[in-house]
Chain A
Amino acid sequence: MRVLESIQRAQLVDRRIVYVALAIALVVPFLVEYTLPIYPDTYTRMFFNTIEQIANDPVEREKVVLVLSQWGPGSDGENGPQLQVLFRHLLRRHIKFILLSTADDPVNLALAELRLQWAMEDEQRRAQRLGDPVPEWVYGTDYMNFGFQPSPIFEPLARPVVLETRALFRQDYVYKKPLTDENFPLLRSFHGVEDIALFMIVSHTDEAKAVCGIVQRQVPDLKVAEATMGIVANDLYPYVKSGQLSGLLNSARAATEYLYLLDPADTTTSPNDNSMSLGKVFLLVMVLLGNVALLITRRAEAAGKLAPARVYSRPMAPLPGRAWLALLIVFATGYVGVTVVELVQGGATGTLPRRRVVDPTEREERGPKYERVSLDELRSEQQEQLEAQDEPEAAQRAGIRASAEFARLLEKRIGEFLGALLTLGILSFLLGDNRFYRTVEAVMIGGIMAYALMEKWENVVKRDWVMPIVGGAQPGGNHWELVWLVLILPAALWYFVYSAKYRWLNRLVVALIIGCAVGPEFSKQVGIIVPQVLDSIRPIWPFAADATTGQTVFDIGRFEHLVFMIVMILSLLYFIFFFRPKTRLARGVSRAGRLAMMIGFGAMFGNTVNTRLSWLAPRFEYLLDDWLGKLFGS
């Protein structure tokens, strides 16, 4: 009886207990390291092969890859590794590429720049480890950054971004120079859409659909591929099947699979991948336990062995003041303790932690991941490198380089301590609303607003609006630029929202923006539906004559299309509401439709779980590896 009551109560367990259990599951792989084999999926392979084909084709090689980066810090756990591994592939195969963004939040581009920098470091580290010459890439020749043109709606920009890229972006982001062939050698290989080898999208939404619907209809040869979150990837699967997309990376696990394709001998799962794995297994186990508990209690209730549950959900009880105080003491002691250890260790030895430089003769994963290094060690290291390269003034330059490197390491360490504090602040919300969380939240709100304001002013309003108008007003300037003054009118309409009397004027500009979204949406839908319907109308009989032998053989592609068509038609039939399914057959078809949709919804839920855990595990990696790992693991 008591056991049954406990099982009944377990279904209403305090959610914080589940959170702590999940956190423990996620932490384990960082403490107990192990590796697992990697199995790349079909569409990850397609993406990889698309880039390999470009690299191996002398004509395509001369073209450029446009990399549209449309993700923010929220989806960093998924899109970050995807973009980094794609950059690594492009850099390794020396394919020219241009980074650009139209995401509304300017921070997206800054994140992409960081990933590019890390990809370059990864490739250089790999070359060092393999004893190969360390590769270098020149900005303006091997790659470029066109910056961002922020807009919350992508559809009106889809066409100009692909077909008139240079006219839309006008300046590069790094040197703020006009996009001319004279300024940047890379642009001699890129004048229009015919020079795009691949339009690659790394995004937390489905911009690929807009590019397929609006642009690919006009330029059927344009290759498009997208790397996106698990939730969004669901939407995009049919477009790879119809050939509109040349590849699809689904979630963070696809980034690991891609890395495996890039370096099959060197890649196994990382603690971060294993942490995601255990998190997913934990979720499934919890679902199973929940159902077993429900089954047992229902049977016991039916048999009269247990009183029916009166409460089916319970709000999270606030923690008592004493518990908060105890947690605060534990946290403060822990954080301050770690800081003191770092200061004492660093101060006593004059060293800072860094990722261990791996000797070409050893495999990276065998030794500790980090090492501590002093300024003198850095100086002699740099001098050795410069002398080996026959660089002039080796001793003097080694000192400058070593100081710069030491300063960068110090900056990184300070940043990691700050980042860890902010991460813990947000995670504290799981225990209930508290002052630590609200302080960190206030920091976030102020920071986001200031960042958006400054970057939009500097890189959009000032650069693309104010300066051209000022230039146009000068004697000898292009007077046509003064036409942009007309934008004052719609822009001013935004601010009528503060006028009680003229508030309706604000609706004019809102309507204008809705119109800008609705018009291209119409053409987008026409552009994506027609190829979807056409792709469906293909032979479904799974036996076909072999092209070489002429014998009838089982064709797996046709079989898959047959199953695909059954699921698609059943899903469509479920939405026919013109008549009630009265006959047995009609009811059967309707139920089959529901089941077909449930298979799809199950896969969607699975991909959603992949996404959520892909966002969570890297935060533990940040705390346990970047922050604490450097202290205790070097």
Chain B
Amino acid sequence: MRAILIWLALLFPAVYYLLVFFAEGGPPLGEGGLRIDETDVYVGRGIIIVLALAIGLGVINLFAHHAKNAVNKRKDWQYSIIVFVSFFVVVAALLWQYRVSAERARVADPALPALQQIDELRKSQPGLTIREAQAALSPEHQAALQRMRAYQERYHFQPREFCVNYVRRPLEATVMALLGFYITYAAYRAFRLRSLEATVMMLSAAIVILGSDSLGGWLTGGRLTVWADFDNRVLNSGMQRGLAIGIGVATIAASLRIMLGLEKGIMGSGRGEQ
């Protein structure tokens, strides 16, 4: 029974999207209503909300794991405290940001009609600068624009921008950058030209690496760049299309298998779930 329910939960949206596919451009549902393929904007919105509400799982797990660490003073519990500190600092920063944004919106709100008028003026008189268009506005609109400009001229700390630019960017970009070191060492240790196939692969890789680079281009007077371009556009592309056709057919078959409930892993055949 549970497996059937799970299968139906899977089948229902899958069939809906197939209907969207096959009923594309069909008649509307009722007089003046939406076509079936136009309803996907609401379904999409529903999916986004349901997925966003799953964020609680992450927060609960994070808190449960690190709270246990900290309370029981397990090994390296200090790092759990840092996780909490970091969490609450970012929460506070974003709450601050929402206040800053609301203030900005409050100041900008009356200026929006003025911006609209500027747009109309610029459209009717091509070549008109923003400054000239501003001068032609009503005093009321000019005042609203001036208030917005005065607000923009002052310094307002943007906590979100600070968090993103100086904390998350350096952290996450550097984590991913570590892969540059790993791939270099892995290539040194493992890329061995033991066969014709390995040699051909290395040759193709060297052409792409050096040819799609200014140094390789400069050393060969641009010839290697042409070869790299050819390798990517023709040779690599040909192989990719061959793979894509195969993968595409396989994906359609796998999609059908999932829809028909033949994939047992998804249906929940695990212990205690039947």
Contacts and interface: CB of A to CB of B under 8 A. Distances in A.
The answer on A and B forming one complex is yes
A602 B242 CA distance: 16
Contacts of B165: 114, 415, 419
A95 B191 CA distance: 47
B188 A241 contact: no
Nearest to B11: A515
Contacts of A114: 161, 164-165
Nearest to B152: A404
A508 B9 contact: yes
Interface size range on A against B: 35 or more
A443 B105 contact: no
Contacts of A153: 47
B21 A523 contact: yes
A408 interface: yes
Interface in B38-81: 38, 40-41, 43-60, 62, 76, 79-80
B235 A563 contact: yes
A500 to B, nearest CB: 9
Interface string A186-199: 10000000000000
B119 interface: yes
A11 B187 CA distance: 12
Interface string A513-533: 111101111110110110011
A37 B213 CA distance: 10
Contact of B38 (A164, A503, A608): A164
B143 interface: no
Majority DSSP secondary structure for residues of A touching B = helix
A429 interface: yes
A528 B244 contact: yes
Contacts of B225: 39, 41
Interface centre among B203, B225, B240, by most chain A C-beta atoms within 10 angstroms, is B240
Contacts of B259: 515, 518-519
Contacts of B53: 461, 487, 491, 494
B52 A439 contact: no
Given A141-B118, A445-B62, A494 B249 contact: no
A251 B229 CA distance: 13
Interface stretch (A279-287, A320-328, A579-587): A279-287
Interface stretch (A144-152, A338-346, A354-362, A369-377): A144-152
B173 A454 contact: no
Interface string A324-354: 0000000000000000000000000000000
B2 A572 contact: no
B44 A512 contact: no
B266 to A, nearest CB: 6
Contacts of A185: 115-116, 119-120
B128 interface: no
A600 B236 CA distance: 4
Interface string B111-126: 0100110111010000
Interface string A430-469: 1000000011111111111111111111101100110000
Contact of A599 (B46, B236, B266): B236
A149 B79 contact: no
A291 B192 contact: yes
Contact of A460 (B48, B118, B153, B205): B48
Contacts of A156: 17, 40, 43-44, 47
Contact of A495 (B45, B57, B87, B228): B57
Given A235-B240, A594-B197, A522 B181 contact: no
B79 A403 contact: no
A606 interface: yes
A616 interface: yes
Contacts of A24: none
Contact of B13 (A139, A291, A512): A512
A97 interface: no
A532 B188 CA distance: 37
A555 B14 CA distance: 46
B12 A512 contact: yes
A43 B234 CA distance: 12
Given A111-B164, A141-B118, A438 B213 contact: no
Given A74-B173, A516-B13, 19 more contacts: A38-B217, A74-B172, A76-B173, A167-B41, A186-B119, A280-B215, A404-B154, A444-B171, A453-B58, A461-B53, A494-B57, A515-B13, A532-B244, A564-B238, A566-B238, A572-B246, A596-B235, A602-B202, A610-B212
The 9 closest A-B pairs by CB, nearest first: A519-B17, A602-B204, A606-B208, A600-B239, A446-B86, A616-B180, A567-B238, A571-B242, A415-B166
26 contacts: A15-B185, A36-B217, A39-B214, A114-B161, A183-B112, A185-B116, A253-B212, A277-B214, A290-B189, A419-B166, A426-B174, A442-B82, A444-B175, A446-B87, A450-B94, A494-B53, A495-B56, A508-B5, A511-B7, A515-B259, A536-B241, A594-B197, A598-B204, A602-B201, A606-B204, A610-B212
